[in-house]
Amino acid sequence: MTNTKLRVAIYCRLSEEDRDKQLDTDDSNSIQNQKSMLLQHSLEQGWEVFNIYSDDDYTGSDRKRPEFNKLLADAKSRKFDIILCKNQARFTRELELVEKYIHGLFPIWGIRFVSIVDNADTANKGNKKSRQINGLVNEWYLEDMSENIKSVLVDRRKNGFHIGAFALYGYKKDPEQKGHLIIDEEAATVVREVFTLFSQGYGKTAIARMLNDRGIPNPTEYKRLHGLRYKQPKTKNSTLWKYYAISDMLINEIYIGNMVQGKYGSISYKTKQNKPRPKEEWYRVEGTHEPIIDKELWDRVQALTVQKAKPFIVGTIGLFARKARCMNCGYTMRSSKSHGKHYLKCSNRHVAKDACIGSFISVEKLEQAVITELNKLSAEYLNKGELEQNVEFSDNLRSRKQMIESELAAYEKKITEYAKGIRELYLDKAKGIISESDYMDLSKDFSTERNRLEKLVLEKQKQLADNERKMQVGDNRRQLIEQYTNLEHLDRETVEKLIDYILVGKREPKTREVPIEIHWNF
């Protein structure tokens, strides 16, 4: 009879509070200590070490840890039997991941989870409650840490300190004073030229073209060439100046010595996604650093910017404003006028040679194309009589309904578990397993989390009801379509209601036709 040893996967992670590195290429002492402790424990238990997974310089809330994700992939493939950590927090500080993996998928995959310091072991069903409490404590730690960091950053913003990862083009971070900007004279020369050219009547696209023709690198490329920190661009032709780079520069108050921050805020401490914040909530402090642009030139440029801003007119001009995009580069097409007719063109075409193929179409032609397609769709929908078979959003709404119902079920299940946990705590108190004070603390924490989940359930129920209303509107879409049959002209209100966006390509030489792709709101 053969005695097969259990295979163990060791997972180590460096936490924020115990970094102690000798060199950037070395594991931290913390990582080394974890490995030593876990290897010794594996030896004592008679387990065979399958692999050591180690993430250094990653937080417990980072779901993109490379070794962590490799560990999960190997666990799913059942390459080992046990995952061993110093404590549960090294694996994750998120309660959601504790429930998903430690209590959910690992048992399905046949993986046992063990952590030494906090005595968590999924082979011992009696300590599931301890693991959940550990998960709650770690979740609160993450939230508290996020709030503490946020309060520090808000205080520094209010006091005019620069806290961004990247200095604005034209400036660099002061090596002598943290949070202070100093002028980068080489880039500042370009900034002054941009403001001066605009004040002399040159357009934003024309200025971009002039800079590109002279081979002046755009802000991102400039920083890359000079070894400065920069945000990785996502668009094509990333080394070129664009209309929007010039436009944003001309209205940025940092160039007159004012620190303006907080334009975007995080959605949650659990995600790195940001959303725009209202202008009145920005942090603005005057005179925090040396200006590149003097006040007189700034005021002149701001006045010209207001004068050149085209009003959002209902009618022919502005009919497809912010709706038409270039099929090649994705840039929003801009309006122009020639011989009394209005046209839409890709502004990216003019910033440099070969920057874009140059999509171009008259507003009149695009309007007729939209009307033709709308009439065609109307006839098709009305003839078939089953609108939902042809409307893509109905499928999306059904998928969203399933997702909301799934989330709702998960929240309700957790509420039931917390209610059960409170009852079990009471029994433990009655048996003398835990003290009265521990019972009060833990039951209060459980109740707080249960109340939070109950609020989420109410929110999901509202989303579900709203989704149902939208599905009803979808079933009655025929009434909306019937309103827009046999149109001769479009107005802005109709465009806003019916069209999400339109992709316009370059005219084909043989057929002389312009490729058009309409993305409807229905």
pLDDT at residue 404, as a whole number: 80
pLDDT at residue 397, as a whole number: 67
pLDDT at 266 over 70: no
- Residue 361 phi/psi, 5° resolution? -160, 150
Give 450-480 pLDDT, tens digit per residue. Answer: 777 787 788 778 778 777 766 665 545 555 5
Q: pTM to 2 decimals?
A: 0.43
Give 320-371 pLDDT, tens digit per residue. Answer: 877 888 887 777 788 888 887 888 888 776 665 565 667 889 988 999 999 8
Under DSSP, is residue 23 helix (H, G, I), strand (E, B) or coil? coil
CB atoms closer than 10 angstroms to residue 104: 12
pLDDT at 390 over 60: no
pLDDT at 138 over 70: no
Got the DSSP string for 38-91?
A: HHHHHHHHT-EEEEEEEE-S--TT-TT-HHHHHHHHHHHTT--SEEEESSHHHH
pLDDT at 407 over 50: yes
Q: Among 19-33, 47-61, 243-257, which is the least confidently predicted range? A: 19-33
Range from 155-159, 205-209, 443-447 that averages highest in pLDDT:
205-209
The top-level CATH class assigned to 160-308 is: alpha beta
pLDDT at residue 68, as a whole number: 92
Give 50-87 pLDDT, tens digit per residue. Answer: 999 988 877 766 778 889 999 999 999 999 999 999 88
Give 172-196 pLDDT, tens digit per residue. Answer: 999 998 889 999 999 999 999 999 9
- Residue 210 phi/psi, 5° resolution? -60, -45
Please give the residue that has the higher pLDDT: either 142 or 450.
450
Q: Describe the strand order of the beta sheet including 333-338 as a list of residue ranges.
A: 333-338, 341-346, 360-362
Mean pLDDT of the 221-247 span: 74
pLDDT at residue 142, as a whole number: 52
> Which whole-number Å values give the CA distances from 16 to 19, 30, 142, 516, in the listed order?
6, 11, 11, 52
For 7-155, the fitting CATH number among 3.40.50.2000, 3.40.50.1390, 3.40.50.300, 3.90.320.10 is 3.40.50.1390
Under DSSP, is residue 334 helix (H, G, I), strand (E, B) or coil? strand
pLDDT at residue 315, as a whole number: 39
Average pLDDT, the chain: 77
Mean pLDDT of the 252-278 span: 73
Q: Among 92-106, 147-161, 384-398, which is the least confidently predicted range? A: 384-398
Name the band, by pLDDT with cuts 50, 70 and 90, for residue 22: very low
Q: Please state the domain extents for the chain.
A: 7-155, 160-308, 310-522
pLDDT at 233 over 50: yes
Expressed in angstroms, the distance from the first to the final Cα of the chain is 67
Give 414-459 pLDDT, tens digit per residue. Answer: 888 877 777 777 777 777 777 777 767 777 777 777 777 787 788 7
Mean pLDDT of the 152-159 span: 75
pLDDT at residue 129, as a whole number: 58
Distance CA 197, CA 206 (A): 9
CB 181 within 8 A of CB 162: yes
Q: What is the CA radius of gyration of the chain?
A: 30
The residue to which tokens 């387990």 are assigned? 47
pLDDT at 411 over 70: yes
Please give the residue that has the higher pLDDT: either 111 or 356.
111
